[in-house]
């Protein structure tokens, strides 16, 4: 059985992936770090980002946080401003 999760992409991550939302199936024991590794393998340009924050269900998440079916994940790229 797998976990289906929704990944929302913003800014440069949306440009790299070519979509604003991805729906992915992860292994039952998937964690945030596994998701990030998977995405960086599929979209190598993500490796070039100097920082990338991840939120799960509206809250910032660490790499070891478990993912559950129907979780909503957001990739939050570096933000520059002036």
Tens of pLDDT, residues 2-23: 667 889 999 999 999 999 999 8
Is residue 81 a part of any domain in this protein? no
80 confidence band (pLDDT: 50, 70, 90): low
69 confidence band (pLDDT: 50, 70, 90): confident
Q: Where are the alpha helices (DSSP H) in 1-82?
A: 11-17, 32-42
Percent of the chain scored above 70 by pLDDT? Answer: 90
Is residue 82 a part of any domain in this protein? no
73 confidence band (pLDDT: 50, 70, 90): very high
Total domain count for the chain? 1
Q: Which of 11, 1, 3, 27 is nearest to 80 (CA)?
A: 11
The parent domain of residue 69 ranges over 2-76
Burial (CB count <10 Å: 0-12, 13-18, 19+), residue 67: buried
* CATH code, domain carrying 66: 3.10.20.30
């Amino acid at each position: 059985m797998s976990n289906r999760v929704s990944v929302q992409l913003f800014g440069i991550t949306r440009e790299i992936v070519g979509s604003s939302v991805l729906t992915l199936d992860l292994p039952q024991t998937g964690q945030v770090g596994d998701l990030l590794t998977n995405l960086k393998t599929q979209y190598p340009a993500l490796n070039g980002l100097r920082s990338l924050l991840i939120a799960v269900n509206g809250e910032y998440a660490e790499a070891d946080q478990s993912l559950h079916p129907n979780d909503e994940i957001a990739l939050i790229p570096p933000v520059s401003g002036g």
